[in-house]
Amino acid sequence: MVTSKKSKIKQKKSNVQINTKNNNNAVIESNNSIFESQKEKKRKQFFHTSSKLTKLQRKYCHCLMKVRPKIGKSIPKKNPKTGKKLNHYAVCFGGIRRKMGLHKTQKQKNKFIAMLNPRSANCVMNYNYYSYSDAEIIAMAKEYGIKTSYVSATGERKNFKKSTLFTKIVNKYLDKKELTKKSRSTKKSKSTKKTKKQIKKQSKKKTKKPIKK
């Protein structure tokens, strides 16, 4: 009887040790998986290695990409206080400005604009599109008026691949840039022509001789 009790106690102890070992291993494995996932997140590069954007510009561009698909879903299309239309540009611009504490006065707003320099923040050409989700790139393509899906030979509606979508986005962006450059140059040429005509008219008026009576 005594020996059987002792053996039972030993078995219980060994079972407890095995359970604790298993629990420890499970904890270690879960910690390792968390660490690996954190590593992967850290590794994610949202911009090209050759990108010359500032930290603030990167924040702004990254925010645009993340907020764009949320408009009309988790973020309302209109501001509930003012009733004005909300878009990703306004949300990111205002949100980052508030975090930096540059939202109270016009001087602070101007300072923030000078720091951000949104015109030089060329987000489209600096993104590493592979780091973003399909939904984010689809939302961007829609903004540029690009078709995001096609009908296959079997008659199924399928989404374009991420790679084809971002090449279309880049091409559309470059085309837009060229058009704006051309329109600016034509406006400049028209304005210079007008000024030349005005100068000629003024010179003619000056050179006109007085009529003799």
pLDDT at 84 over 60: yes
Q: What is the average pLDDT across 48-57?
A: 94
Over the stretch 90-146, which tens digit does the pLDDT of each residue have?
999 999 999 999 999 999 999 999 999 988 889 999 999 999 999 999 999 999 999
Position 80 scores a pLDDT of: 85
> Is the pLDDT higher at 15 or at 147?
147
Over the stretch 107-118, which tens digit does the pLDDT of each residue have?
999 999 999 998
Q: What is the average pLDDT across 155-174?
A: 93
As a whole number of Å, the end-to-end CA separation of the chain is 151
Q: State the Cα–Cα distance between residues 191 and 159, nearest whole angstrom.
A: 46
pLDDT at 149 over 60: yes
Cα distances from 108 to residues 30, 55, 100, 169, in angstroms, run 46, 19, 10, 34
pLDDT at 28 over 80: no
pTM for this model (two decimals): 0.66
pLDDT at 204 over 70: no
Domain spans, the chain: 50-122, 128-180
Over the stretch 181-191, which tens digit does the pLDDT of each residue have?
777 777 666 66
The pLDDT-based confidence of 158 (bands split at 50, 70, 90) is very high
Q: Which of 143, 130, 162, 125 is nearest to 88 (CA)?
A: 143
The pLDDT-based confidence of 4 (bands split at 50, 70, 90) is low
pLDDT at 179 over 70: yes
